Structure 1
C-alpha cells in the first residue's frame, strides 16, 4: 500500500499518539507536499493540506499498519477530509506517491503556522482525536462527523481542565496524578453532550485506595455566562428561553430566566465567547467586563465549568427576540432593574445557579461598578 502523508501538526507527540494509537513501528520521515499549505478552520480541528499555489506544506511520510490506517481514515472522515493521491517530496528531494487527505473546500481558510501552535490548541486537537477514535468500530463512519461539534467543545474543556491551577489551601491536597487510578472508560451515549462512565479507584482520606467504583458524568464543553449591566440606569438584561431540564423534571413552566450564556468554541477565549454570545442572544455589543467567578455548577454529575462575567452595556432600546435559527434558538431578552431581579430570587422565579450567583455578586459590587463604569 502507498505510504501516508500527514501535515506537521499531526507529528507532534500527543496528536500523533492519539491518531495512531500506540504509534507506528518506525518514526515518520519529514517531507513536504508541493502546491499545498497547512489549512485550518476557526476551531483548529479541521486541518490538513489545502491547495495553495507555490506553497509547500510541511509534514511527515509514514507507513502505517492496517489498524493505524483505519484510525487515520476514521478521523479524516470525522472532519470531512477527502482522500487524495499526491506526490510528496522527502527531505532528500526524492518524490514519492502518497495517500493524503484534503480538508473540505472552503473550510481550511486559515493557514496554520507553527508559532500559533499553542499548548492549548495542540492539546485540544489530541483530546478531540482521542474521543472520536473511541467510536471506531461502534459508529458508522458516515455518521461520525455528526459528533464533531460536541467533541470539539469537550476537547477544549479537557485541555483547559488539565492546565487548570486552582488554589489548594483548604482542600486535602489530593490530586488526580497518582490519587485516581482509571480502570475503564465507557461512553454509553455521545452526541452534542456525552455520558462518560468512569470505572476507577481513588485515594481515600485515610490514605488507602478505594475499591473499584463506577462514577458517571454528564460531559459538555466549558461555558461562559455574561450579565449585561447598565451603570447609568441600574438595570440589567435577562434572557428567557425554553429548557429541557425543567421539562424532564415535570416543571409546568420550563422557561427559565437566565444570563446570556454559551459554550466556548475551540481556540476562543472566555471573554470572546461572552462578546459573541451577547451579540447572538441579545443583539448587544458589550463594553468592559469583570469576572465574577469560575466554578462547577453541579460537580457530582456534570463536567461543565462556567466562567461568569458582568459586562458594561447601554441597555436603552435593548430587548426583543433573538437567537440563532441554525441552533433553533428562541430567546426573549428583557431589561429589568437590578432590585426587581433580586426580588425574583426571593420569590423563587429566578431558579438557576448561574444567574443566582451573578446577581448576588452584582448586588455586592454594583456601587463600585457604577462609579467605575458610569
Structure 2
C-alpha cells in the first residue's frame, strides 16, 4: 500500500477516481500541505509544476492506502508528463504529519508561470482533462508511459474539440440520450489521430430502433481553414503540400493545392488558430477574418469539424520560399492566383480539396461586398 500527495489536477476528485480506478467513497483522502514548496502553472500548459521554495506551502490532497495497481495506473497517467515519484513529509489539515510520495517533474523541463489555481483550472479545463484522461486510461496496459507521452498533445486537442462539440445546438426533436444506444465502445487506434469503434443503435425515422451496427470514426479534432484574399488585388493565396492519404488511396498526384489550414490547439479559439496558421504556412498577417461556414468535413467517416474563413490580407508582397513547420513534417509552397484563375480552376474541377472549393464558392457570393469595403466604393 502507498500514500501519495497530489498538488495539481488530481486534486480534482472525479479525475482522481477515473485515473486510479477507484470510487470516491473508497478513497482515503485528507487535505494536506507540502511545506517549503509552491505550485505554479506550467507556462502555456493546463497543468502545474511544483518546486522547492522556502516559506512556501503547496496545498493538495493526501491519498492513503493506494494499492500497487492504483499506483501503477497513476504512474501511467503522470508518466505522460515525464514525472517521477519522490518521498516528502506533508502536514495534514486535521493535524499531524505523514510521509508521502508525489509526482515531481524533471528539472528544466518546463517554465513556471503564475501561481497554480485549482479552482481556475476546474473552471477552464476540468471537462477537457476528464475526456483526455478517459482516452489515456483506456490505453493502460496496451502502451507504456513513454509510448503515451507523444500522444498526449493530440489527445488533449481531441478532448478540447469534443467539449466544444457538446455545446453545439441540440436536435430540437431527438434526444441522443434516448435515441442512441451504445452497446460497446472500443478505442482501436491511437497516434496523431485516433480511431474509435462502436456497436450502436439509433432511432429510425419510423420510430423504431435500428439493428446493432458496427461503425468506426477517425477522430481528428477541430480545425480552422482560411483562404487569404486581397480584395484590392482581387487575388487569393493557396498552398501546396504532399498529402499521405491521397497517396495511400493510389492517386498519382498526392501534392494538393489547399487554403491555409491547421488543427485548433486546446484552449485556442478558431480565430487564433486561423491567424497563427496564416503566419506559419504563408508568412501572412490577416487583418480581418470573414466567417465562411462551420461544417463537418466528412460526417460518414470523420469527427473533424472545420471553421472556414476568408482572411483579408495584403498579397502584394508575399514572402518568398516555402512555409510550414519542419517539426510537423510540413513542406509547403504558396501561389497567388487571381480571382478569375481561382474560379476557372473550380469550374474545371482542377482543385481536389473540399475546403478550397467551399471557401471559393463563399467568396464568389461575397466578393463584390469585400471589394467595395476595401476601396470605399
The number of residue pairs the alignment matches comes to 369
1:59-103 Cα deviation digits (max 9, x unpaired): 211123333222211101112122222222222353322111123
Shift of 1:180: 1.6
In 1: Cα distance, 2:276 partner to 2:87 partner: 40
- Deviation per CA, 1:96-143, whole angstroms, max 9, x where unpaired? 221111234332533332453365521111111111111111112331
Q: Gapped runs of 5+ residues in structure 2?
A: none
Distance in 1 separating the partners of 2:278 and 2:90: 46
Contact 1:150/1:192, CA 8 A, preserved across alignment: yes
Query: Is 2:85 the counterpart of 1:69?
Result: no
Distance 2:271 2:73 in 1: 36
How many angstroms does 1:313 deviate by?
Answer: 0.9
Higher mean alpha-carbon deviation, 52-61 vs 64-73, is at 52-61
Q: Report the counterpart of residue 91 of structure 1 in structure 2.
A: 93
Deviation at 1:41, TM superposition (A): 4.7
SS at match of 2:146: coil
Quick one: which of 137, 140, 143 aligns to 2:141?
137
* Cα distance in 2 for residues equivalent to 1:96 and 1:304: 48
Match of 1:102 in 2: 104
1:48 touches 1:101 (CA, 8 Å); kept in 2?
no
**TM-score of the superposition, structure 1-length normalised?**
0.91
Structure 2 counterparts to residues 199-210 of structure 1, below 5 A: 199-210=199-210
TM-score with structure 2 setting the length: 0.91
Q: 1:61–1:321: structure 2 CA closer, same or farther, 3 Å change rule?
A: same
SS at match of 2:247: helix
Measure, in 2, the Cα distance between the counterparts of 1:16 and 1:2. Answer: 15
Give the match for residue 23 of structure 2.
Answer: 23
Counterpart residue number, 2:354: 353
Contact 1:37 1:49 survives alignment (8 Å): yes
The worse-fitting range, judged by mean Cα deviation, of 233-242 and 58-67 is 58-67
Distance, in Å, in 1 between the alignment partners of 2:2 and 2:111 is 25
Alignment of 1:184 with 2:184, yes or no, is yes
Return closer, same or farther for 1:365/1:118 CA change in 2, 3 Å cut-off: farther
Counterpart of 1:369? 370
The answer on whether the counterparts of 1:39 and 1:50 sit within 8 Å (CA) in structure 2 is no
Does structure 2 retain, via aligned residues, the 8 Å contact 1:50–1:108? no
Q: 1:339 to 1:109 in 2, by over 3 A?
A: farther
In structure 2, the residue corresponding to 1:204 is in which secondary structure?
A: coil
What is the root-mean-square deviation in Å for CA atoms of aligned residues?
2.1
Query: Which residue does 1:290 correspond to in 2?
Result: 290
Q: How far apart in 1 are the matches of 2:214 and 2:186?
A: 10
2: distance between equivalents of 1:316 and 1:54? 58
CA distances 1:6-60 after superposition (whole Å, capped 9, x unpaired): 124323354233323343403522222231214335242x544344554333221
Question: In the alignment, what sits opposite 1:325?
Answer: 326
Moved more, 155-164 or 218-227: 155-164
